[in-house]
Amino acid sequence: MSGKARAPLDPLHFLVLNLTLGVGHFLVLFNTGAYLPMIPYAAGALGRAISYGDWTQANFFVAMAASFPVAPRLAGRFGEVHTLVGAFLVFALASAVCASTHDFWIFLLARGAQGFAGGVTVPVSLRVMLRHYRPDQRNAGLILWGVAALMPFTLGPTLGGILIEVFGFRALFILNVPIALAVAALCTVVVLRHDSGLKPRPMDWLGLILLLGTLAGAVWTLDVAEVRDFWRAPTVQFLGLASLTAFVLLVLWERKQAEPLVDMGLFARWNFSVGALGLFLTALLFQGLMAIFVIQYEVTMGYGPLWVGLLILPMAIFSKLASIFTHRWMTRIDPRLIGVFALVGMGVSCGFVASYDRNASFDALLWPQVVAGVFVGALFPPFAAIGLSGLAGSAELRASALLNLMRVSGQALGIPVFAILWEVRDIVHRHFVGEADRAARAHIARLEGVFAAHGLRPSVAHEVIAHALGHAASVLAMGEVFFIAMWSFFVLAGLCLVARPVIFAETDAPVRLAAQELVEP
pTM of the prediction?
0.83
What is the distance between the alpha carbons of residues 151 and 145, in angstroms, rounded to a whole number? 10
Q: What is the pLDDT of residue 134?
A: 59
pLDDT in tens, 379-411: 888 898 899 888 887 788 788 888 988 998 998
CB atoms within 10 A of CB 171: 17
Return d(Cα 112, Cα 185) in angstroms, integer: 23
The answer to whether 338 and 329 have CB atoms below 8 angstroms apart is: yes
In whole angstroms, what is the distance from residue 67 CA to residue 124 CA? 11
Q: What whole-number distance in Å separates Cα of residue 481 and Cα of residue 294?
A: 14
Q: Give the span between the Cα atoms of 217 and 109, in whole angstroms.
A: 15
Among the listed residues 315, 322, 335, the one whose alpha carbon sits nearest the alpha carbon of residue 275 = 335
Nearest by Cα to 56 from 231, 226, 255: 226
Under a CB-based contact definition with an 8 Å cutoff, are residues 348 and 501 in contact? no
Instruction: Report pLDDT for 5.
Output: 45
Using H for helix, E for strand and C for coil, what is the string for 71-116? HHHHHHHHCHHHHHHHHHHHHHHHHHHHHHCCCHHHHHHHHHHHHH
Distance of alpha carbon 226 from alpha carbon 186, whole angstroms: 43
CA proximity to 73, closest of 204, 257, 213, 258: 204
Q: CA angle at residue 518 from 512 to 521, to 5 degrees?
A: 135
What pLDDT is attached to residue 276? 93
Residue 169 is predicted with a pLDDT of 85
Three-class DSSP labels, 337-373: HHHHHHHHHHHHHHHHHHCCCCCCCHHHHHHHHHHHH
d(Cα 395, Cα 315) in Å, to the nearest integer?
A: 34
Give the pLDDT score at 2.
42
pLDDT along the chain (521 residues), means of 10: 50 72 83 83 85 86 89 84 91 94 93 93 80 60 56 70 84 92 84 58 85 91 81 85 93 86 88 93 89 77 76 77 78 89 90 70 72 82 88 81 89 88 82 62 62 64 67 80 92 92 77 69 68
Q: What is the pLDDT of residues 85-95, one digit of tens each?
A: 999 999 999 99
Distance set, CA 508 to CA 1, 110, 180 (Å): 11, 39, 32
Residue 182 CB partners (closer than 8 Å, separation 6+): 23
pLDDT at residue 103, as a whole number: 92
